[in-house]
Structure 1
Amino acid sequence: MLTIELDRFVEREGISYDRLLSKWVIVKQENGVDLLASHARYADEIQAIQFLEPIKLTNKKGMGGIIPNQYITDLSLLNISSGTINIPITHFMHLTARSGDIEHMYGGKTYYIDEGYLRNTIDIALLAATKERNISVAAIILLDPAARCADPDLGAILQHPDNNGGTYTMPDLTNAESVNCYAAALDFLAKRYCRIDNSYGRISHWIMHNEVDGGRDWANMGVKPVTVFTDTYVKSMRMCYNIVRQYDVHAEVFASFSHSWTEVSNPGWYTCKEIVDLLSAYSKTEGDFQWGLAYHSYAQDLTNPCTWIDPNAQLSMATPFITFKNLEVLNKWALSKENKYKGTVKRSIWLSEAGVSSRSYSNEDLQKQAAGFAYAWKKINALEGIDGIQWHNWFDHSGDGTCLGLRKYLDESYKGEAKPVWEVYQKAGTNEEDEYFKQFLPLIGIPDWNIIENF
């Protein structure tokens, strides 16, 4: 066995570059020319500098988009075990110091963080979830286009050079300055939210960007072949993984997808399956790492809570969509040996943004929403490959285009009033579930809850 020792840090372009972020190849020389003799490969093992106990899920009920609000006790009342929180790093990171900023040095460069923003948004939510209730939380890492960043100059460094629009951008990983800036943000978050003393709250999982099959809208890097897009996405996932695992040996990164599988959800999008297949291929070639799926298994029509009738959610690995109706497909994918981490460990699957809507606040529509969740829950709770659902949304939100909340709008008119689905969510997983859920069988048109199918 050949052993070579190298310095971990090396000066490059004025940056103290951490080779932890590198991948490596074997090169041979022929006639004085260096030729590749292997595929590139990342580090197989990353030594953690501390040990954090994992936060284990106690049930499959979660909350998506945890925010500070007057109904924070819902996390206890609903027996929430997991959650997600949006972390747009371009909202609080600056290149030059501003009042109230704290310093973070990485790669020999100093960046500045708006600690007031963190304390009043992220810290308060994470502390309520993790320190007070031991909830396992996944951070959704987002980057605004430069024009919308708190510091447009920093945004220009982080924004992908081929970005041509979209709500969020893919990070620029094409030059040393941008890579260092992005790595600095991830390193700061890992140091702050992966602490033994849990001073600021805990992040256990890291969802990389949002619905990347819709990269044009949610992780924009221009119009690219799916292979080129996924190559950049894998680099972003790897960078987060390699940095965070120094602080939390149990941390996982998740790839985020919409409810499409083999059919595009919108023009110009990719399909989920082609990106998932590429992630698997990269893992086999460049070294496996512990990634999972953050899947958004909405109904095929987000406005229709009757997900049990989704026409294009089929029991086939070639199904156009994966919704609550055919979660068996995702379950089968997760339990297949060829899809497991190192062939033995099931990859985590969180339904990290998923729910059914009430088209209005009429009694009929509210009951259909409640029935839609009851149906979804019976699938989720019975399938061992699905680890949990993080319900979207806690409150109805106009940006969703439909009323997906467990509660009504958090405004002066509705004041976040609980909808019937809130009580169904509360009963789920309790000894009252079976009796309470019976009322929805006639509406769905089934005699009992034997709805799991094999294929």
Structure 2
Amino acid sequence: MKKKITFWAALCMVFVCFMSMTVAAAGTATINQCIISGTDQITVVATISGVTSDDGNLYLFEMKQYQNDINGRNDFCAMAVNAPVVTFVTTLDHGTINSKLCSKFIVAAPQGGTFVPVSQPFYITNPEAIAKHTVPNPVTTSIKGITADNNAMSAITDLGIQHVSYELAIDRFFQPGPTLPYTYNGKVYNFNQTIVAEYDLIMGIFASQNVEVTMNIVNYFHPETAFTVKPSGRVNGYRHYAFNTDEQQGAESIQALMSFLASRYSNPTTGIISNWAIGNEVNNNNPWYFAGNYNVTNFTHEYEKAFRMCYNTIKSENANARVLTCVDQRWNWEDGTKNQYGARKFMDAFNSDVVSHGNIDWGVAWHPHPVPLTAAKFWNMPSNYKRLNLIDHTPNTKMINPQNMEVFTTYLSQPSFLAPNGQVRYIIISEILFNSMTSDEATQAASFAYAYKLAEKNPLIKGFIVHRAVDNVYEKNADKIACGLFNCDANGQVTTQKMIYNVVKFIDTPESAAYTQFALPLIGASSWQSLGVNP
């Protein structure tokens, strides 16, 4: 037995050494840069370590959004002599059917008669270099914002709102009806003219109010517009759906729509979409960005493809646009629900993918809701939630609500998470709700006041958008949540103001103390200063 063990151990060592030599012989290339470097030029720079090549050259291949390998291909777009550092130059071809704006690039070497990939895929990282629109975003002096409602647009001015959020469903623009043609990369796309007119009206209102707009870009699943949805996600029963980057029609149609919208809403006259949140609470594949059954690593890899496509297209039209991912309050919490991931896991995976494939200036639309959603008193959870020890002030906290928001901003302040310019990424609370249905209007108003003051003292939080202007009938019936500043009737129409209305109106004015003092006894505090916030 002893001799057999020695023999097999030796054989394994020989095999490992052989495999090691094989891997070393193949070598690796690391793409370090991929930029638009001229009117119609892309420059790609890579460092090479031990790569062998049959002809002494290395080759750059382009892969479209919907392509994942170069198997059997020989249509390289650039060539360079094999060296420790190689530079490839190819054409951008933007505005033609051969546009490489949203493509990924890979270095390959001819080995044994076939092209073998030797680098990671890498995307263009400066799409803003070709942007026609460079108008600055609105200047804000307050973080106060609201989810806008068509029934209460006039309230935005009265409330002194400086940030608004609104939903834009991409599938609606492809619904049947009168069309508005748009030519992009040599192809004509027809967008639903009625839906375009709807957003023209909404954006015109926002422009007249000079507010910063965060547009929540989502996707619904309908048979007539199914091509916008990732094929593996075409299953009924989910709230929102993953963007299609797997098929040419879907990917190119979404890219054309992003170009159309980013160009149209990039000036003060027609309105400016400053922040584009790609998907809603995407750490919840189920139900908010359904792509099919994936673990967090594979899901994030798929999401990054859609994010890159939207990022490069939007930034190529409006250089100052911010493109954001979106996560919720469940930081490390996972209850076993299939296709739901802790926000921390998702953020780690997303950041790793982006850095590996070309770091870009992404930001975060964040939802640090009270836990549970139905209980407005985030500082005093129901007893069954307290027992779960959900909130602490470390990176290992299970949840992040207004009490411990600094956990999130501190985490994103780590060197590995910084933007390409070395700064902390743009962070906006694009949705946070306070329920009056399970408590009362005074508790709702007090909860908003306390949470707002906690956010206001954190300089990394650029906006605090309370959800929503008017109670929603569906949310009241299905979720037992009434989080609006206005009550509504059975048809969803505005009826009366709630107590929270004036608290929101005066929270960022010299009269703030007068309108928030009532909250202290409800919170159990003697003063705002004792809570570490401004009065």
Cα drift, residue 291 of structure 1: 1.2
Q: What is the identity, as a one-letter code, of the residue corresponding to 1:264?
A: E
Q: Measure the CA separation in 2 of the matches of 1:280 and 1:92.
A: 31
Q: Measure the CA separation in 1 of the matches of 2:486 and 2:157.
A: 16
Task: Give the 5 Å matches for 1:373-452.
Answer: 373-400=448-475, 401=479, 402-409=481-488, 415-449=494-528, 450-452=530-532
Q: Measure the CA separation in 2 of the matches of 1:239 and 1:218.
A: 19
Kept in 2, the 8 Å contact 1:337–1:343? The answer is no
Kept in 2, the 8 Å contact 1:353–1:389? The answer is yes
Cα drift, residue 412 of structure 1: 6.6
Q: Measure the CA separation in 1 of the matches of 2:88 and 2:354.
A: 24
Secondary structure at 1:174's aligned position in 2? coil
Q: Measure the CA separation in 1 of the matches of 2:192 and 2:446.
A: 43
Task: Give the 5 Å matches for 1:28-427.
Answer: 28-46=109-127, 47=129, 48-64=131-147, 66-69=148-151, 71-94=152-175, 98-99=177-178, 101-119=179-197, 121-129=198-206, 131-147=207-223, 152=224, 155-163=225-233, 164-165=235-236, 166-194=238-266, 196=267, 198-264=268-334, 267-268=337-338, 269-310=340-381, 311=386, 312-342=390-420, 344-359=422-437, 365-400=440-475, 401=479, 402-409=481-488, 415-427=494-506
Kept in 2, the 8 Å contact 1:146–1:159? The answer is no
Cα drift, residue 419 of structure 1: 0.5
Cα drift, residue 233 of structure 1: 0.9
- 2:37 alignment counterpart: none
User: Which shifted more, 159-168 or 336-345?
Assistant: 336-345
Kept in 2, the 8 Å contact 1:68–1:124? The answer is no
Secondary structure at 1:35's aligned position in 2? strand
- 2:92 alignment counterpart: 8
| TM-score normalised by L of structure 1 | 0.89
- 2:3 alignment counterpart: none
Q: Measure the CA separation in 2 of the matches of 1:448 and 1:136.
A: 32
Q: Measure the CA separation in 2 of the matches of 1:205 and 1:414.
A: 28
Kept in 1, the 8 Å contact 2:170–2:254? The answer is no
Provide Cα deviations, 1:105-125, integer angstroms capped at 9, x if missing partner: 223332212222222x32222
Provide Cα deviations, 1:352-398, integer angstroms capped at 9, x if missing partner: 111211025xxx61111111011101101101121111111111113
CA RMSD, Structure 1 to Structure 2 (Å): 2.2
Secondary structure at 2:431's aligned position in 1? strand
Q: Measure the CA separation in 2 of the matches of 1:425 and 1:358.
A: 15
How many residues are paired up?
432
Cα drift, residue 10 of structure 1: 8.9
The structure with the greater share of residues assigned to strand is 2
Provide Cα deviations, 1:398-439, integer angstroms capped at 9, x if missing partner: 332211111111557973311001111111111111233222
Secondary structure at 1:202's aligned position in 2? strand
> Is the radius of gyration larger for structure 1 or structure 2?
2
Provide Cα deviations, 1:121-169, integer angstroms capped at 9, x if missing partner: 322222111x21211111111111133xxxx0xx222221112231221
Higher relative contact order (CA 8 A, sep 6+): 1
Q: Measure the CA separation in 2 of the matches of 1:248 and 1:257.
A: 24
Q: What is the identity, as a one-letter code, of the residue corresponding to 1:318?
A: N
CA gap of 1:266–1:122, structure 2 versus 1, over 3 A, is farther
Secondary structure at 1:387's aligned position in 2? strand
Kept in 1, the 8 Å contact 2:331–2:344? The answer is yes
Q: What is the identity, as a one-letter code, of the residue corresponding to 1:52?
A: V
Q: Measure the CA separation in 2 of the matches of 1:374 and 1:292.
A: 26
Q: Measure the CA separation in 1 of the matches of 2:202 and 2:108.
A: 49
Cα drift, residue 80 of structure 1: 1.0
CA gap of 1:209–1:410, structure 2 versus 1, over 3 A, is farther
Cα drift, residue 192 of structure 1: 1.3
Q: Measure the CA separation in 2 of the matches of 1:116 and 1:292.
A: 31
Unaligned runs of 5+ in 1: none
